Amino acid sequence: MTPPPAAHPRGHGTALNKKVLCFIDESGTAGSGDLILGALLVHARDAGHIDKCFSDLLMPNANEIHAVNLDDSYLQSLMRRFWESVARDRIVMINHKIATHPSTEGPALYAKIVVETVKIGLKRFQQDVLNRTTIGNVELIIDANHHNEHATFDALMVQAQTHDGHFRGVKRVVRLDSAAPRLLPVADAIAYSRKWIGGPEMNAQGLRDRFGIQIP
């Protein structure tokens, strides 16, 4: 595969930005109802600190964290305290929903929403955190599942890395078990947070104000 052209940020010659990590997890199943992805974007150099901010809020005996298994009031409190503990100009959180269709192959549908979500997140990170005209040097970290371990998914990732706007800034796609890094469970909670909209005093603006989670 021919690599995409190097970025040319404003005022920085041809230097690339420092590595950016994009963590992705889902709520729902591709091909069955709505599929919602949560994305958390941070500088690689900030990831350890942000991971610690989240881990320090958990119970000492907490192991693998899944939003669907947690009480909503606890999870909302957890995400609110997390948002209050991090440097808000160093992090972007995106919740993106797509209506799925049974006729579309699961891996292809999953790839489509991953690409869309990453592009949205990278554009926000580029503008709000990097303050640059371009973004590159991105590592995409996704929770491993049967859709993103499929050959169709891999082929569509390569295609998007070569041709598809901001996604060309993604240099590497990594699958990890959600028990590995603490920031994948944060992405899981971001995806799950869509459920809170429509409840008492909660809309898209409320989600952003209280938890820092943006809806495109």
Listed residue (146, 148, 145) closest to 118, CA to CA: 148
pLDDT for the residue numbered 66: 86
Q: What is the pTM of this model?
A: 0.86
At residue 57 the predicted structure's pLDDT band, cuts being 50, 70 and 90, is very high
- Asked if pLDDT for residue 6 goes beyond 50, the answer is no
Beta bridge pairs of residue 203:
none
Domains and CATH numbers, the chain: 20-214 (3.30.420.10)
Mind listing the pLDDT tens digit for each residue in 13-47?
456 789 999 999 988 655 556 789 999 999 999 99
Residue with tokens 């240099």: 171
Average confidence (pLDDT) over 145-149: 86
Look at residues 64, 98, 87 and name the one whose alpha carbon lies nearest to residue 188: 64
* pLDDT exceeds 50 at position 100: yes
- Residue 140, both tokens: 């995409």
Encoding tokens for residue 159? 């295609």
pLDDT digits (tens, 9 = 90+) for 160-188: 999 998 999 999 999 887 655 679 999 99
Q: What is the chain's alpha carbon radius of gyration, rounded to the nearest angstrom? A: 17
Question: Could you count the other beta carbons within 10 Å of the beta carbon of residue 165?
Answer: 12
